[in-house]
Structure 1
Amino acid sequence: MVQPQHRPWGNETSRDETPVTPVTPSPSSQFPSSSQMVIAYEQPKLTLSQRLGYEVLTLVIGKEPRVEPFTVHKNMLRDLGGTFTQMCAESTNGTKFNLKHEDPEVFKLLIDYAYTDEIPHVSVWSNVNDKAAQLRNLIQFYALADKFSLNLELRNKTMDNIQDGFYIVGKLPEGPLVHTVYEHSDADSKLRKFCAATMAYHLHDESYVQDGVIPALIGSNGELMVDFLEAVRAYRHRQDPRIRHCKGNPLCVECDGSNHLEGKDGVYPCQFHIHDKVKTEDGEFVDGPCYLWKRG
């Protein structure tokens, strides 16, 4: 317990009292530090209610008997980019849209991402069946993001998770999946390029057995044949398309100077990414910055 101290009244003085000399602040102490200035000039973070706003849209997903309505804040949808940004710009509060060709279960993953920024992934802790389901959902999620031209970082991070997912399950895309990907994607889809690259890798693997699957696939789809031949031409010995390998680049964020990929080889980290183009001082257009690289 702290004992109360006696303070002098009026002209009464204390023998133990030490006179206090006023101190004039130095010039440096009169100004905030650089860190204080940074904080002062930072844009204030929006509150949750400000982020959400009050306007909503209702998206009716799927066909009978599997139809589910989703009421979503316009601000959350708008941030996804692509079709949803346009949808929000052209609609009023409470507008309803029917997306009958989409899967409600996959669309739930997109809604979760819109509110949490969490992208689906394959967990190393899941059992075999759950890993297979997670990987299937992940591929469908990418196809959905591709179809609606959603923001590039979302698609790129999803592609990273697809690479990781196939590596975790220890498999490559099989024939029926490759066929489905080509049936439900555009010619420039990076998911297509990934499937073609895995086929080229599988063809060069020592364990490859000619079972007729690859010839049948490329024989039935001209676009797949073009992508496959390009993947074969670009193939480098033992380059696993499931592995992102920076070759020791010090600007790589994922390895950050570690040697966790020692003894393995893979493709350039942005091999299956889509980036905005930026113009250099020389007038050349190159890929813009990516979250996988430190700013040099």
Structure 2
Amino acid sequence: MKLELSEPKTLITHGRTQAARFLGYEIVVLHDDAKRDRNGHRSINGQIGLKVPMDVVRGKCKPYMRRGKPAALLERVHDSDSRIVTRFQAEFRGIAEYYQLAYNRHRLGLLRWITERSLTKTLGHKNKISVNKVWNRYRATWQTPAGPRRGLQVKVDRDKGKKPLVARWGGVSLARRTTRVTLKDELPAVWRKRPAELIDRLMSGRCELCKAQTEVEVHHIRRLSDLRPGSQAEQPDWAKQMASRRRKTLIVCPDCHSGIHSGLSVRQDSMESTLESRVRL
């Protein structure tokens, strides 16, 4: 048997001369003798750096371009203005947040400009106005923890005193994040401190239909709506009990479980008589 290895996954790369690719990032070893701290020491040599690949930026720009230029997305003109702005903002924010660890995050400025042009052209095509009139209609400034931000804002008023829905484009900073994260290598708690209710019901060993203390099983249904009675047949006792408790599980003994699947009526009095006969034997 011949073992074949994937070259992109097993490639050994020299970090200072080439970049290794992992999860959409370029991983490099930083080296710059001109970068020094306040004491005059070289400060970045040998450190690991994460970069945004330029081919990724170009690939993310393609959906918003036609013939090499930003263009309106005609498949979105049937949406409301609020929905259009929200969708463009969510798409760009998702990419910007994913690459927040990259030190060259400013490369996403090209994607932001192309996405913004495509957004304004889409709104202009929908409302039959020019791009300048789109900015005149929706230009806004709002406050953020990092200061005031400018962009596009669409408000949708609602009735009954509800706050208006606000959709915004802009305000996503491309500055490098310097927040340090402390990792805690603790084993996750597999079991909760308080056992689940289903486990307690199983451990009790009591049938919830005939009240017998014996080995139990779980009868399970997919949906509570399956417990609704039909037009002619009356709802069985076990279904009434599950519907009243709004549970999709029922802890039953093997006899009751077989009676449920066979369609026989499972009643408490018959089960008590069965238990009495078993005790006599």
Q: TM-score, normalised on structure 1?
A: 0.25
Larger Rg: 2
TM-score of the aligned structures, taking structure 2 as reference length: 0.26
